[in-house]
């Protein structure tokens, strides 16, 4: 019989997890469970499910080797009830556990489910200290501020960690080198590929399981090359440091057809499930800069993503509460177009990003923000539907990190709490930062008519629809004034082109 039962979730694959501290393995049982409810509350990408189930199985073995007794419930085990709550109740009875420990989940949905069990079980929920800023620390920073801008929070995190600091001042005399990180990539650049790992027997068994149980979910399973152990995840990050980090900053916002990864790390899935430690990663990046192997703009750009943006969106998610995902400040109600699942569209940029997402369960942040997100915002897509799409299709997506990025940054659905402006752009931006437009059926230079890039007239249609709101936004007011100078004929042309195109979005465009 166990005095204590410790529940470990699929994104808590960390040996130093708070719930594992202060207890002795001989009187403790660790519970891990693969449940259909977590795999299908949104229809998660098949690669995402396979990655997490395999990583969970490998972590369970890591714990066993460290002396822990692990009760691991596999998806096909007899009696698996399909829900975390049900498996927790079954395990508590099975082991006669008087006390349950769990590290705080990363989603309101899971936290509320555990809290609902409080009358049936003695559950202790511990703060997740794997982040640099606690909830209290973030709320203290946010209290009384009119705008919660990431840049100022990021500076506090730099001071707290000492990363890239020169005494009390930022290394290089400025906090942010983002203006240096907007180069368009060229075909003659030699771009490394992320380190790939052949599936071992455990992973191969999981792949077969997922193909059998989740055959109708989005995405392809093969080839499967993700790391599923801590050692392999660390090797993947070390490989990025040596091969891609030096150019990460310069080409952070670039996009190239057929080049899925460019100089990105492709390790966020390992970080967000607990296989990698954020501060350890940032210190390794800083060391590369200090040793003269990478430029400052690359090191700063990467560190900002981790201790700035990642910590900031987590703070927003927990501060704003469970209803944040339903905000819709722009009253966008259009259903998510079918081509977000099928890639059946003539828009080369959308097609490339969706096809890549289907194949890899991955797209980098500019593909998400300025292609699929930008289009959804311009077209007036329901932000909750887009939120659920992002949550489902990306291997690194958990609601705490995905929802603020979608609802706030991408769709401006929180009314500007997170972003200072709607992140909208015409086809010119995509043309400047990618080579998608060269092979597109639409003409990115054309402003009107059936052959014109839809991003062009949808951009101005968005400005027209939200004219009164945007004219008061300092970063959008000039675009509103530009629209106001259009002739009535041009305005009618924009409205007609947009209406015709949007009417076609039930199927493919």
Q: Is the pLDDT of residue 427 over 90?
A: yes
Q: Is the pLDDT of residue 179 over 70?
A: yes
Distance of alpha carbon 413 from the chain centroid? 17
Q: How far is CA 484 from CA 210, 273, 471, 490, in A?
A: 54, 48, 10, 10
The mean pLDDT value for 364-369 works out to 95
pLDDT band per the 50, 70, 90 thresholds, residue 2? confident
Share of the chain above pLDDT 90, in %: 91
pLDDT at position 185 = 72
Residue 100 in 3-state DSSP? strand
Q: Is the Cβ–Cβ distance between 131 and 314 less than 8 Å? A: yes
H-helix or E-strand containing 102? Answer: strand 99-103
Residue 399 in 3-state DSSP? helix
pLDDT at position 485 = 98
pLDDT 10s digits, 63-122: 999 999 999 999 999 999 999 999 999 999 999 998 999 999 999 999 999 999 988 899
Rounded CA separation 353/20 (Å): 40
Q: 52-73 burial by CB neighbour count: b if 16+ within 10 A, else e? A: bbbbbbbbbebbeeeebebbbb
The mean predicted confidence, pLDDT, of the chain is 95
Rounded CA separation 248/295 (Å): 10
Residue 224 lies in a domain: no
pLDDT 10s digits, 22-40: 998 988 999 999 999 999 9
Model confidence, pTM: 0.96
Boundary of a domain, candidates 288, 320, 352: 320
Boundary of a domain, candidates 291, 320, 349: 320
pLDDT band per the 50, 70, 90 thresholds, residue 3? confident
pLDDT at position 119 = 83
Nearest CA-CA partner of 20 in 114, 124, 91, 122: 124
Q: What CATH number does residue 111 fall under?
A: 3.40.50.620
The number of distinct structural domains making up the chain is 3
Rounded CA separation 456/460 (Å): 7
Residue 301 lies in a domain: yes
400: CB partners within 8 A, 6+ apart: 106, 107, 313, 314, 317, 318
pLDDT at position 181 = 65
pLDDT band per the 50, 70, 90 thresholds, residue 236? very high
- 508 vs 489: which has the higher pLDDT: 489
The mean pLDDT value for 201-215 works out to 98
Q: Is the Cβ–Cβ distance between 296 and 180 less than 8 Å? A: no
Tokens read off for 177: 């080198």
Domain of 266, in residue numbers: 135-192+244-320
Q: Is the pLDDT of residue 507 over 60?
A: no
Q: Is the pLDDT of residue 312 over 60?
A: yes
Do 93 and 164 share a domain, yes or no?
Answer: no
Do 60 and 104 share a domain, yes or no?
Answer: yes
Residue 329 lies in a domain: no
Nearest CA-CA partner of 273 in 5, 17, 4: 17
Residue 471 lies in a domain: yes
The most confident of the ranges 180-194, 252-266, 307-321 is: 307-321
């Amino acid at each position: 019989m166990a005095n204590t039962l410790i529940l470990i979730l699929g994104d808590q694959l960390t040996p130093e997890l708070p719930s594992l501290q202060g207890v002795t393995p001989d009187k403790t049982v660790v519970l891990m469970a693969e449940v259909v409810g977590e795999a299908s509350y949104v229809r998660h990408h098949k690669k995402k499910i396979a990655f997490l189930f395999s990583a969970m199985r490998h972590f369970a073995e890591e714990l066993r080797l460290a002396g822990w007794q692990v009760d691991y419930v596999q998806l096909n085990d007899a009696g698996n009830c399909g829900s975390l709550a049900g498996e927790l109740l079954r395990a508590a009875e099975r082991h006669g556990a008087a006390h349950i420990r769990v590290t705080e989940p990363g989603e309101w949905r899971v936290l509320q489910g555990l809290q609902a069990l409080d009358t049936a079980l003695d559950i202790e929920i511990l703060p997740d200290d794997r982040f640099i800023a606690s909830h209290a620390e973030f709320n203290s920073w946010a209290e009384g501020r009119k705008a919660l801008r990431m840049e100022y929070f990021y500076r506090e995190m730099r001071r707290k960690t000492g990363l890239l600091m020169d005494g009390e001042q930022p290394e290089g005399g400025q906090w942010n080198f983002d203006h240096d990180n907007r180069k368009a990539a060229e075909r003659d650049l030699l771009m490394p590929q992320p380190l790939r790992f052949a599936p071992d027997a455990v992973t191969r068994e999981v792949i077969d399981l997922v193909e059998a149980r989740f055959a109708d979910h989005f995405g392809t399973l093969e080839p499967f090359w993700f790391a599923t152990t801590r050692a392999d995840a660390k090797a993947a990050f070390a490989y990025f440091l040596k091969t891609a980090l030096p150019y990460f900053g310069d080409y952070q916002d670039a996009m190239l057809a057929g080049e899925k990864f460019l100089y990105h790390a492709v390790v966020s899935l390992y970080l967000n499930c607990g296989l990698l430690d954020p501060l350890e990663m940032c210190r390794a990046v800083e060391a590369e800069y200090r040793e003269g192997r990478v430029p400052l703009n690359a090191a700063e750009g990467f560190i900002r993503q981790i201790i700035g943006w990642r910590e900031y969106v987590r703070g927003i998610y927990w501060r704003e509460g469970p209803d944040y995902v339903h905000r819709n400040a722009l009253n966008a109600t259009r259903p998510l177009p079918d081509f977000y699942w099928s890639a059946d569209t003539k828009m080369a940029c959308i097609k490339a990003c969706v096809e890549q997402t289907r194949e890899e369960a991955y797209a980098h942040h500019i593909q998400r923000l300025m292609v699929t997100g930008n289009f959804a915002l311009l077209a007036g897509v329901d932000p909750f539907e887009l939120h659920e799409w992002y949550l489902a299709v990306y291997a690194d997506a958990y609601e705490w990190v995905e929802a603020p990025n979608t609802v706030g940054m991408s769709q401006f659905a929180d009314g500007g709490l997170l972003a200072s402006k709607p992140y909208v752009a015409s086809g010119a931006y995509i043309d400047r930062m990618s080579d998608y437009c060269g092979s597109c059926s639409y003409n990115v230079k054309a402003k009107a008519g059936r052959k014109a890039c839809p991003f062009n007239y949808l951009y101005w249609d968005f400005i027209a629809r939200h004219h009164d709101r945007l004219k008061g936004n300092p970063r959008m007011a000039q675009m509103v004034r530009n629209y106001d100078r259009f002739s009535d004929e041009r305005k009618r042309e924009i409205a007609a082109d947009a209406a015709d195109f949007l009417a076609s979005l039930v199927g493919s465009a």
